[in-house]
Structure 1
């Protein structure tokens, strides 16, 4: 017997704003039959195929320390550097640059609420080296 992940939950000060940010980052959408609205205490977004779900739940506490769990993302198209530009424009901030001269490594970013996540090289970038 095994367990299946239903969804990944994030504590958030503003569930709606977090769902909008991460929806733009990942290309996830809300359920048209149960849309997310400003002020909602819980907001869920779905991958286009519905296989992955993220739930943002409002809590009164701000983030205190480094995440114990985080998302590692890779560009669906383009390069890590182009994805970095896009994510900074969406409101991410750079936490640490762990890129190496040989092209390996990653970049640590934070979402608008301070939750860290990483950007890795794309499949095409890894295959070319």
Structure 2
């Protein structure tokens, strides 16, 4: 049986970055509202460690997105499959990513995909043309993390 996984991404604004990546990947932003409310009610989580985002209480320094077809826990909202978890860190991004996401879209051309991602807040960095191996855009998400966009 394959393992569950999540990729952890350091972030200055985890909820905003989760919203970007959920829209970019057509994933779902996890809603841990029931769990957060229960933890606060039981005194296990201080109110100061929470925020209200999209109308429900959330962990202030964590936000996650999951693939919409993967199973998830209904109380914590945590996916049990493909996930990205954004955690708040105090330092800004300072060097090139050692790991990056390739966003593939078989329904849109490369230019259509890049334009769609720009409308969500991404920026184009460099168009790479490897001939028969493919063409893609190196892009940055709203916090400067590099990723590649690969269209049809």
Q: TM-score range by the shorter chain?
A: 0.7 to 0.9
Are the aligned partners of 2:22 and 2:28 in contact in 1 as well (CA < 8 Å)? yes
Gaps of 5+ in 2: 34-50, 54-58, 71-80
Corresponding residue SS for 2:23: helix
TM-score (norm 1): 0.82
Unaligned runs of 5+ in 1: 123-129
Are the aligned partners of 2:19 and 2:29 in contact in 1 as well (CA < 8 Å)? no
The normalised TM-score by structure 2 is 0.70
**Which structure shows the bigger proportion of residues in strand conformation?**
2
SS at match of 2:135: coil
How far apart, in 2, do the equivalents of 1:5 and 1:65 lie?
28
Q: C-alpha root-mean-square deviation of aligned residues, in Å?
A: 2.3
Question: Which protein has the larger Cα radius of gyration, Structure 1 or Structure 2?
Answer: 2
Query: Which of 36, 40, 44 is 2:60 aligned to?
Result: 40
Q: CA separation in 2, counterparts of 1:37 and 1:108?
A: 33
SS at the partner of 1:118? strand
- How many angstroms does 1:31 deviate by? 3.0
Partner of 2:17: 18
